[in-house]
Chain A
Amino acid sequence: MSKMERKTNRSIVRIILSVARAWIYEPLTLLATDKRAVAGFIIVLFYVGLAVIGPMVVPLNLTPNLESAYLPPSLEHPLGTDPWGRDIFAQLVHGAPDMLIVAFLAGLITVLVGTVVGIFSGYSGGTVDLIVMTITDIVLTIPGFPLLMVIAAFLIGSGIEVNIFMAAALLSITSWAGLARSVRSQILSIKREPYIEVSQTLGLGKLHIIFSEIMPNILPYIVMNLILSMIGALYSYVGLMALGLLPYRPGNWGAMMHMAMAVSGTVTGVGSWYVLAPAAAVTILQIGLVLFSNGIDKIFNPRLREK
């Protein structure tokens, strides 16, 4: 290797090490101070692991076997069987990727749209700001989940194919507004900060000011909101599925709840595992996300690090 190549290799290693330290080691040590956040993180990690590895490890057999219907939990069927004799645990595991991906996508879309709208409105100011904020206020006032229900009802009635991306986009239809509003008000107050004024006298340019000066100040908030948006998206996604308003997907937790209600009525003894297992799966994931979000603020905010 030439001297140049060796030098480049060394700097690459240095960069990787510093990134790893800043983005993995430091955040984890900070997180470790809050026990509840650690618990949340572990739960979320568990679900992600389940979604990634689970389907490869746990076999899914969807052929009906009515003799084994409604079996209670056993070694062979850790969470029992559904009305058609199929293993509930396997269904949960195979439904996990779908749930996580849709929730994450929807959260991502919500945060992207909300941030862009908020920054655009806040930085532009004046009439543009007024118009955009009025629209945002109206979207905010419309109750999101009922609207989703109606749109989904009409969609499914008109026989349109709803894929993952459409579902994710649908779930974000009103949730971006809250974030847009708070990002905008943060931009408004940051805009007036002296260091932004000086960035202007230094002639550093709009793009630099928005992405290099303003963004780091709202980034912790945005990441926090990603988790919160995922929580909301999961609520709506499972809710819509539980109502049977989105096309059936095998293993989808909400769909299982819907099937349970359609077939067994309510949580009567025999069918209870079929409805409670996915319900518990959703609940524990939500709890994990909430606890995790409580600890995230510390990681991204160097000011809080002093404490």
Chain B
Amino acid sequence: MNWILKRGLLAILTIYIVVTITFFLVRLMPGNVVDMLVITYMRDYGMSREDAYAMVKLLLDIEPSKPIWQQYLDYIWSLLHGDFGRTMSSGGTIPVMQPIVAALPWTIFILSLSTTISFLLGVGLGMLMAYRRGGLFDTGASTFASIVYAVPNYIMALFLLFALAIQIPAFPPRGSYDVSITPGFNLPFISSVLYHAFLPMMTYVITSMGGWMLAMRSNTIRVLGEDYVIAAEARGLKDRRVAMTYVGRNAILPLFTTLAINLGYMFGGSVLIETYFGYSGIGMVMGLAMSYRDYPLIQGTFIILVTAVIVSNFIADLLYGKLDPRVKLGE
């Protein structure tokens, strides 16, 4: 109970700190973004200083004349109300939250599915490798795991795109679904979504599973040498049972901390990966925001993305808490 509370507080504190960092990035960066934007607006749109200033104020949702601490409180207040300002690229018409809310589910869909698949695959293979340690399968699989672990996930996206969408047009090179189909709970739509999601998911799965494989392999090897496993085998318990309940369970637990890192890695890579695949998730929105230097949108997507990572980590912590009896009993 205690431990969950600690992790929860840490999560909230971290989100708060990220929000604060973003606040200061805009306002206190040397060569102030606000000033540069005013100059840009004056130059590109021929606005007067006051008009440009008013425009920037509206877009970034800031009031530079107010004292900093007051600006900060206003900022926190708007955030809590879900008001992240308005996008610059829309000239201030579309609120930042809009594209984010539209895009987020797509990313969450792909990432949760990919995490589950890569985790199960990686853990299963890792355990198999440990049981057949030293053999041909183990050596081959370990080398494979090391290699896919090394490839940056966004580069894997490029390779897959090139190989399976261009050279061999097996999969669509762009989009999250076929836009000619009306969205809804119908089969054509769902199959189109899955078809378009396949390559991005494959990217995440292949680049993540290497780490799982190697970690599970070394954990399993360690556990196999422990006394309680040898005792279980000596008692005559069936191999399968020993593997599942004794070895598997104990070997998996430390991996949950890796889960958090892995989620961060996937969310981080999503910007480039979704851009390359033209996949309309929050990564792509953030990518577009950055290329257009749309600061309110950058700010908004960043905060939401980071919050998504932190919340996912917290859920993983909860799961871990349920599985590890040492935590359950309040060690």
Q: How far is the CA of A159 from the CA of B173 in the complex (A)?
A: 35
Whether the Cβ atoms of B11 and A154 lie closer than 8 Å is no
Interface window among A114-122, A203-211, A279-287:
A279-287
Whether the Cβ atoms of A158 and B150 lie closer than 8 Å is no
In the bound complex, residues from chain A placing their C-beta under 8 Å from that of B146 are 36, 287, 290-291, 294
Q: How far is the CA of A104 from the CA of B305 in the complex (A)?
A: 29
Q: How far is the CA of A178 from the CA of B13 in the complex (A)?
A: 18
In the bound complex, residues from chain B placing their C-beta under 8 Å from that of A29 are none
Contact with A along B232-272 (1 / 0, CB 8 A): 00000000000000000000000000001100110111011
Whether the Cβ atoms of B147 and A287 lie closer than 8 Å is yes
Q: How far is the CA of A234 from the CA of B264 in the complex (A)?
A: 17
Whether the Cβ atoms of A146 and B302 lie closer than 8 Å is yes
Whether the Cβ atoms of B155 and A145 lie closer than 8 Å is no
Q: How many A-B residue pairs have CB under 8 A?
A: 142
Whether the Cβ atoms of A150 and B298 lie closer than 8 Å is yes
Most buried by B among A134, A137, A146, A276: A146
Min Cβ gap B299→A in Å is 8
Does B161 reach chain A (CB closer than 8 Å)? Answer: yes
Whether the Cβ atoms of B13 and A266 lie closer than 8 Å is no
Does B22 reach chain A (CB closer than 8 Å)? Answer: yes
In the bound complex, residues from chain B placing their C-beta under 8 Å from that of A141 are 10-11, 14, 260, 310, 313
Q: How far is the CA of A282 from the CA of B155 in the complex (A)?
A: 9
In the bound complex, residues from chain A placing their C-beta under 8 Å from that of B72 are none
Whether the Cβ atoms of B150 and A144 lie closer than 8 Å is no
Contact with A along B12-49 (1 / 0, CB 8 A): 01100110011001100111110010000000000000
Chain A interface residue count, Cβ-Cβ cutoff 8 angstroms: 49
Whether the Cβ atoms of A276 and B298 lie closer than 8 Å is no
Determine the residue in chain A with the shortest Cβ distance to B16.
Answer: A138
Whether the Cβ atoms of A275 and B151 lie closer than 8 Å is no
Whether the Cβ atoms of B166 and A267 lie closer than 8 Å is yes
Does B205 reach chain A (CB closer than 8 Å)? Answer: no
Whether the Cβ atoms of A138 and B17 lie closer than 8 Å is yes
Whether the Cβ atoms of A154 and B29 lie closer than 8 Å is yes
Whether the Cβ atoms of A157 and B158 lie closer than 8 Å is no
Pick the contact of A289: B150, B265, B269 (CB < 8 A).
B150
Whether the Cβ atoms of A286 and B152 lie closer than 8 Å is yes
Whether the Cβ atoms of B150 and A269 lie closer than 8 Å is no
- Which residues in chain A, 213-248, are within 8 Å of chain B measured between CB atoms? 231, 234-235, 238-239, 242-245
Min Cβ gap B279→A in Å is 12
Question: If A142-B17, A283-B152, A287-B150 touch, does A243 touch B162 (CB 8 Å cutoff)?
Answer: no
Whether the Cβ atoms of B18 and A142 lie closer than 8 Å is yes
Pick the contact of B13: A138, A145, A155, A238 (CB < 8 A).
A138
Does A198 reach chain B (CB closer than 8 Å)? Answer: no
Determine the residue in chain A with the shortest Cβ distance to B14.
Answer: A141
Q: How far is the CA of A238 from the CA of B156 in the complex (A)?
A: 13
* Interface residues of A, Cβ cutoff 8 Å to B: 36, 134, 137-138, 141-147, 149-151, 153-155, 157-160, 178, 231, 234-235, 238-239, 242-245, 257, 261, 266-269, 272, 275-276, 279, 282-283, 286-287, 289-291, 294
